[in-house]
Amino acid sequence: MDTLVIDGGMPLHGEVRISGAKNAALPLMAATLLAPGDHVLHNVPDLRDTRTMLSLIKTLGGDWVRQGGTVRINTDTLSGAEAPYDLVKTMRASVLVLGPLLSRAGYARVSLPGGCAIGTRPIDYHLKGFERLGVQTDLAQGYVEARVKDRLRGGVMYFDAPSVTGTENLLMAAVCAQGTTLIQNAAREPEVGNLIDMLTAMGAHIEGKDTDTLTVHGVERLVAAETSVIPDRIETGTYMIAVAACGGRVLLRDSLSQHLVALSEKLRRCGLIIEERQDGILVFCPEVAGSSLCALESVDITTQPYPGFPTDLQAQFMALMCMGEGTAIIHETIFENRFMHVAELNRMGADITIEGSRAVVRGCGRGSLSGAPVMATDLRASASLAIAGLAAQGTTTISRIYHLERGYENMAGKLQALGANIRRISG
């Protein structure tokens, strides 16, 4: 089993290029199923999840080639409309092929994703939205079978919660529907905006980008287009938190500060200096009394849909608060089981107690964590353990790093270049 071995205590200095966003690349890849022709996607991160999506597109009859950060996808001939369990179970975002297949072929059979470490992850909002467009959905043998008799028709959908992939799936189903579709309480994440830009470049007519109300005027057909994946705000935030935890001074190249307002506000309150630069975000810890690191203020957070504090940065921020000077309350409101990192952080010397959807983090100050063998349980929990290991005294070994490699491109290499003592061991 592959592991990460980290000898903690080193500050981070230099610059790191932020990769394209996993959670933008996945819907953009699914959208190539909407129209034949040669689609070109730039700045696509090379991750376990993007490789899984490309495998799924190939299973459906598409073809692709990667040239560096650019992926060319051709979907002239779709030979199937089924996303099999063995692919979907490894990546919930496979459900994103439902919308484009319904639009392109009028039919799709996709394995239900099932739950994952952080929650049950239902897709009832997706199915309800499709039904509003005239789709019939049936659940059998762990699969959802969706079909539409002739053409999708415009409808109105109100999301009980602003589901990110639910909004993306419905957008892709609606772009060629007959008539107009209104999506209310839509997700406003930048990744949804990236998809809207791609669909518009393909010929779609969508109003309300970056708001919670989207209007889609159906068009007859779409054509292949060329699009760039936006920078990964969660990767950016992860490295910002790592600098706050370890000290140092790092330029996060190609990152967009406007996507990280909530996190930046909290990190400034902790004591981090964050400066917008022409080519990215510069972050550093002020040093006091010579080279010692500034004390970390303990700051409460509540996760919320964008533009609130991202649930995907909750675990990483919790690792930082373990080194705070006081007590921080971490309130997770999006997923029901996103505290899997707590037990492992406590094994490193943290003092965290869970009370329902809140974690009470009693900070023990800088240098309070000690290295230990720990196990990754999900993508962002593994990033949390990496941050803790970077700041801990001694050696941390993180097992099951396939979780981490689903969503972070070459984390060990990027951190080594910043001066961290970290290495990936193939097991």
Nearest to 348 by CA among 378, 383, 388, 316: 388
Virtual CA dihedral for 323, 327, 328, 329, nearest 10 degrees? 140
Nearer to ligand EPZ, 164 or 251 (CB): 164
Nearer to ligand EPZ, 298 or 303 (CB): 303
Burial of 140 (0-12, 13-18, 19+ CB in 10 A): exposed
Ranges within 3-62 binding ligand EPZ (CB under 6 A): 22-23, 26
Q: Out of 109, 233, 380, 403, name the contact with ligand EPZ by CB under 6 A.
A: 380
How large is the C-alpha radius of gyration of the chain? 22
Q: Which residues are catalytic?
A: 116
* 181-212 per-residue burial string, b: 16 or more CB within 10 A, e: under 16: bbbebbbbbbbbbbbbbbbeebbbebebeeee
Ranges within 90-129 binding ligand EPZ (CB under 6 A): 92-93, 119, 121-126
By CB under 6 A, residue 192 contacts ligand EPZ: no
Angle at 268 between CA 265 and CA 273, to 5 degrees: 130
Shortest Cβ 122–ligand EPZ spacing (Å): 4
Shortest Cβ 135–ligand EPZ spacing (Å): 14
Q: Out of 64, 143, 309, 335, name the contact with ligand EPZ by CB under 6 A.
A: 335
Distance CA 400, CA 382 (A): 9
Q: Out of 407, 408, 414, 424, name the contact with ligand EPZ by CB under 6 A.
A: 407
Nearer to ligand EPZ, 26 or 361 (CB): 26
Distances (CA, A) of 358 to 87, 334, 376: 33, 12, 21
Distance CA 99, CA 363 (A): 45
Nearer to ligand EPZ, 26 or 172 (CB): 26
By CB under 6 A, residue 307 contacts ligand EPZ: no
Ranges within 146-185 binding ligand EPZ (CB under 6 A): 161, 163-166
Amino acid present at 170 = L
Task: Give contact residues for ligand EPZ (rule: CB under 6 A).
Answer: 22-23, 26, 92-93, 119, 121-126, 161, 163-166, 311-312, 334-335, 379-380, 407
